[in-house]
Chain A
Amino acid sequence: SELTQPSAVSVSPGQTATITCSGDALPNQYAYWYRQRPGQAPVLVVYKDTQRPSGIPERLSGSNSGTTVTLTISGVQAEDEADYYCQSSDTTGTYVFFGGGTRLTVL
């Protein structure tokens, strides 16, 4: 089950960044989002489409509209510059898949 993300998104500090992830199974399977800074392990920033783990700022939010899920980062800061990956499953809910990742650049 393929998950498609834009390869790159660029925004200026203080603006809003939106990163999309599209896949046929998304209407029936939850999506998860990870942030990965250079040389570091991934960090879960959104789970079950819209929920934020403790310690993740409110300006990061997730939404689901059928075959597309979106990670929105409001008031972008320099520290948000990273690669972002969506994760979901196949239609049977058996296997785990990642999108190809989106490089967020803060101009």
Chain B
Amino acid sequence: QMQLQQPGPGLVRPPETLSLTCTVSGGSISSSRYYWGWFRQSPGTGLVWVGSIFSSGTTYYNPSLKNRVTISIDTSKNHFSLKLTSVTAADTAMYFCAISYGDTWPDGFDIWGQGTMVTVSS
């Protein structure tokens, strides 16, 4: 069973760049059998898909965040990363990473990380 590990809570000052990694254990991030995603959840609100990446490097981003988001894979470290530029207080949220074993796009996300709380504040 694959597992996803995320870092502890963090603080980012506006308008800097939010950077997060999700480390994969129990499997290879370069496998074409899976794809990966980032999600966020502001306090007391619902889930929002941020974007996804395939092992090939193909990415899909939420249109509302597309201009500020970059998701990438580092096969040497077996992790994938999220960068969100020009953050504001509205980007304060719990950020989750997840893996999909699905054979179609889009599919459900089967395994989730524990989440990282990111606070944007000066």
Interface positions of A (Cβ within 8 A of B): 30, 32, 34, 36, 41-44, 47-48, 53, 85, 87, 89, 93-101
Contact = CB atoms under 8 A, between A and B. Distances in A.
Nearest to B104: A30
Contact of A44 (B49, B63, B96, B110): B110
A30 B104 CA distance: 10
Given A95-B60, A98-B47, A32 B108 contact: yes
A67 B122 CA distance: 44
Contact of B47 (A30, A85, A95): A85
Given A34-B47, A85-B47, A93 B112 contact: no
Contact of B108 (A36, A41, A44, A99): A44
Contacts of A34: 47
Interface residues of B, number: 22
> How would you classify the secondary structure of chain B's contact residues: helix, strand, loop or mixed?
loop
Given A41-B112, A42-B112, A95-B62, A100 B46 contact: yes
B55 interface: no
With most chain A CB atoms within 10 A of its CB, the pick from B37, B60, B108 is: B108
A92 to B, nearest CB: 11
A43 B63 contact: no
Contacts of B60: 94-96
A96 B112 contact: no
A85 B110 contact: no
